[in-house]
Amino acid sequence: MKKRRRLASLLMGMICLFQMYTLPVQAKEYWPEGPEIAGESAVVMEASTGTVLYEKNSHEHYYPASITKIMTSMLAVENSDLEEDVTFSKDAVFKTEGSGISRDVGEVMTMRECLYGLMLESANECAYAIAEHTGGNYDNFIKMMNDKAKELGCKDTNFNNPHGLPDENHWTCAYDIALISREALKNDVFRMIVNTRRYTIPPTNKHQEETYLSNHHKMRNNYKGDEQYLYDYCIGGKTGYTSVAGSTLATFAEKDGMTLICVVMREDSPNHYVDTRTLFDYCFENFRLWNVAENEKNYGRDTAESKIFENEESFVGLNQEGYVVLPMAAAFEDAVPKIKESKKKNDIIGKIVYTYADRKVGGTNIEITGSKVSEFKFQKLMEEPEVPEEKVFRIDVKYIVLVILGVILLVGLGFGIYHLADNFYLIRYKIESRRQRKRSFKEIKVKRRRHRR
């Protein structure tokens, strides 16, 4: 494994050098101008890359109200089983107010039923009961919420309850809620629950009748007959309202393979729905998603440039799940890649990160694929650096200088001298004559043979 990582590091160095001398000059980068909205704060984030497509005061602190419950439900899903029994305590029933489903002290429901009550009806007693059950106690769950927020990179968040009821020590920002939502959407159970329009809780030990739940998010469900706000591409979200927070709304939508997260805060109803639709329409019309492995020509496993050794399969490849999001007017080649080497001891040896218009727009991991590597060829590479390249590598000569040997010292009009240095793992690349660089490598090969004679 250590040898494979050393070889992979060698390849990373050659890729970086190749990148330095072959990247095209970038055209002027253009980012579409976003629409005006009524809300005080908003953000739209593309889920697969984390790229912010639109923002307005997205790091300003606001009271979140019930969009807090996105974090509560995510932690519950990650740390409990859906069939576990949750018992409603006296505190869960009497220390909450506002929206709820009228549970009683000692009532028992499954975690699944509690989560549907939490996310569809925004039941505050369910939030409290989930917190006590998942955290072992209420205070520990609040710590879990803040620890998770910090882990996800939230810098403008302090949670002090699991439901979002008014609390001067409970605040966040639109950007942090988008980060939390992005992580939550990676969980299939969470996605299923927020995507549900209606759910029925069966009779419990305290209620002999069924409890009918209806999703309050009007872009997903015609709650109370408000069909005008339905949005075909909505896959879920969470509503919120208190007198001090105003209307808050987190919404998730999918179209053309792209998943967007829109968060608006400090709004007046129904502008939070109007603004969310406006922002979704703007982003879906002005941006598109590119798969890195399918479009990257310089580092792709199946391109000529990446077939560095004779092996039919490269032992390094691009992760197939990496994406870049760009304006419609831009091509994939307009994004500027940068190689970052990983120091971790695993199969990920680095990452390609892309920027465009001074924004990070995505990337993908460079991974050890597990393909068998020819020991003989690499031993020759390290033990006999002076051997003529055609006897060792037998590959397309025109790429030897750019990718494999990486060190060219062109003296005058004559010839090239190849050598490997720095423990045979790092390659330095220099070109001193622009006129000689334009010549074909075939002519250079002929000059070498004449020189040898």
In whole angstroms, give the CA distance from residue 440 to residue 24: 20
Task: Please say if 374 is a catalytic residue.
Answer: no
Contact (Cβ atoms closer than 8 angstroms) between residue 253 and residue 239:
no
C-alpha distances out from residue 137 to 133, 236, 396, Å: 7, 29, 65
- Cα–Cα distances (Å) from 162 to 13, 126, 211, 383, 400, in that order, read 48, 10, 22, 63, 60
Q: What gap in Å lies between CA 393 and CA 387, rounded to an integer?
A: 10
Compute φ and ψ for 115, nearest 5 degrees.
-65, -40
48, 58, 66, 306: the catalytic one is 66
Measure the CA–CA gap between 355 and 320, rounded to whole angstroms: 19
Cβ neighbours, 10 Å, residue 338: 14
**Catalytic residue selected from 41, 48, 56, 69:** 69
Q: Which residues pair with 353 in a beta bridge?
A: 338, 363
d(CA 339, CA 354): 9
Is 122 in the active site?
yes
Q: Which of 73, 89, 99, 122 is catalytic?
A: 122
- All residues at 6 or more sequence positions from 296 whose CB lies less than 8 Å from its CB, including other chains: 318, 332, 337, 352
Integer Cα distance of 140 and 448 in angstroms: 73
* Secondary structure element (H or E) that encloses residue 293, with its range: helix 292-295
Pairing of strands 41-46, 258-267: antiparallel
| Beta-strand relationship, 52-56 and 336-341 | unpaired
Tell which residue, 318, 243, 206, 267, has the closest CA to residue 56: 267
* Helix 174-184 and helix 69-79, axial crossing angle in degrees, nearest 10: 30
Q: Are 389 and 380 spatial neighbours (Cβ–Cβ below 8 Å)?
A: no
333: left (phi over 0), alpha (psi -120 to 50) or beta: alpha
Task: Evaluate whether 406 touches 14 at the Cβ level (below 8 Å).
Answer: yes
Return d(Cα 259, Cα 321) in angstroms, integer.
14
87 bridge partner residues: 108
Catalytic residue list contains 66: yes
Active-site amino acid positions: 66, 69, 122
